[in-house]
Amino acid sequence: MMFTRRRLLHSAAGLSAIGAMSTLPLGIARAAGKPVVALLPGVVDPFYFTMKRGADKAAEEEGIELLFQIPKAWNVTEQVPILKAIIAKKPDVLLISPVDKDQLIQPLKEAADAGIKVITVDTYIGEGKYQTGSGKADFPLSYVASDNTEGGRIAARALAKAVGEKGAVYCENNKPGISSTDQRMQGFEEEMKKFPNIKILKTQYNEDDANKAAAHVAAVLAREPNLDGIFGANTFSGMGASEGVKKAGKTGQVKVVVFDAVPGIDASLKSGLVDVAIAQKPAEMGYVGVKFASDLIKGKTIPTWQGTGFVVMDKSNIDQEDVRQYIYSN
């Protein structure tokens, strides 16, 4: 998966087109007798299209009408207007990946106050602790996601092993305030401190811009020419970090561990562009989310938290079907 600047831009444009084709208009007529569940992801990304396929499967099994619209960019100004349009349509349940753990509290409270049951998937609001009876962000009924702190720890152990438990490493991240990537960075840094011969450099934030992430690599190498490893905390961070290492002629020397299994990750692992990928299970998130929504509609109680696990991919196992099946797709 060789992501030149041109290809990165082309990939983003292609995903935007997919997003447009995959969006169901929020004004869709409610099918007679069918409960309605809305799925509002965070951004145009293979991760969320894979999530939707799992949601579609559960919706078909449960006889649910699934509304779906996806923001073009990961920010509050893109997501909140779509959320308000969903609230106006009054679905029975809303599944949402909040793009900010603080700024989405009030808009989601409006949904709950309108009688819409709220479940967060992949990301959360507040501290992600729901139905506790305390705090202003405990009103969602469930959170379905990976244990992102543990995912960060897994990434740290993988990177520490790859660099021989010595040298300098850093985390390439999206931006502060996003629950999932904040937790991955936290888990990564906490676990990496267990390796006394590894120096942890300052985290770089790229705002979901893979080209900016690639530029960060060049800048870090200029300051720290003996950089040994990078952890890319989300899709675009990982894509940009691996491309930056390649441009610097350091493939194989600077080890790269990425979060998320984007299309083409198999080729990247085989070529050595990426050393380890931590795959989430977005289809399972979507499937479980809709199943929980169906249970709520039927008056059943659901867990306030449901983890969905990880699959660790590398060159040695990427051709195994039980591993390959977790590569995301558009």
* Contact status, residue 216 vs residue 184, Cβ threshold 8 Å: no
224: exposed, middle or buried (C-beta count within 10 Å: 0-12, 13-18, 19+)?
Answer: middle
Return the percentage of the chain with pLDDT > 70, whole number: 90
Instruction: For the chain, give every domain's residue range.
Output: 5-146+281-309, 148-279
Confidence at 30, pLDDT banded by 50, 70, 90: low
Count, residues in the chain: 330
The class that CATH gives domain 148-279 is alpha beta
pLDDT value at residue 235:
86
Strand-pair partners of 167: 198
Structure tokens, 15: 């995903």
Instruction: Please determine, for residue 15, whether its predicted confidence score (pLDDT) is greater than 50.
Output: no
**Stretch 37-63: mean pLDDT, rounded?**
96
pLDDT value at residue 9:
29
The region of weakest confidence among 25-29, 199-203, 235-239 is 25-29
How far apart, in whole angstroms, are the C-alpha atoms of residue 62 and residue 47? 23
pLDDT value at residue 27:
44
Give the HSE-up count for residue 323: Cα atoms under 13 Å, Cβ half-sphere.
16
Return the percentage of the chain with pLDDT > 90, whole number: 86
Instruction: Please determine, for residue 5, whether its predicted confidence score (pLDDT) is greater than 80.
Output: no
Instruction: Please determine, for residue 190, whether its predicted confidence score (pLDDT) is greater than 80.
Output: yes
Confidence at 311, pLDDT banded by 50, 70, 90: very high
**Stretch 133-162: mean pLDDT, rounded?**
96
The number of beta carbons lying within 10 Å of the beta carbon of residue 221 is 17
**Stretch 107-128: mean pLDDT, rounded?**
97
pLDDT value at residue 266:
96
Q: What is the pLDDT of residues 262-290, one digit of tens each?
A: 999 999 999 999 999 999 999 999 999 99
- Better pLDDT: 184 or 16: 184
How far apart, in whole angstroms, are the C-alpha atoms of residue 292 and residue 297? 9
Residue matched to tokens 């399972």: 284
pLDDT value at residue 112:
98
Q: What is the pLDDT of residues 211-238, one digit of tens each?
A: 999 999 999 999 999 999 999 999 889 9
- What average pLDDT is seen over the chain? 90
pLDDT value at residue 33:
78
The class that CATH gives domain 5-146+281-309 is alpha beta
SS3 sequence, the chain?
Answer: CCCCHHHHHHHHHHHHHHHHHHCCCCCCCCCCCCCEEEEECCCCCHHHHHHHHHHHHHHHHHCCEEEECCCCCCCHHHHHHHHHHHHHHCCCEEEECCCCCCCCHHHHHHHHHCCCEEEEECCCCCCCCCCCCCCCCCCCCEEEECCHHHHHHHHHHHHHHHCCCCEEEEEEECCCCCHHHHHHHHHHHHHHCCCCCEEECCCEECCCCHHHHHHHHHHHHHHCCCEEEEEECCHHHHHHHHHHHHHCCCECCEEEEEECCCCCHHHHHHHCCCCEEEECCHHHHHHHHHHHHHHHHCCCCCCCEEECCCEEECCCCCCCHHHHCCCCCC
Asked if the domains 5-146+281-309 and 148-279 are classified in one and the same CATH topology, the answer is: yes
Instruction: Please determine, for residue 160, whether its predicted confidence score (pLDDT) is greater than 60.
Output: yes
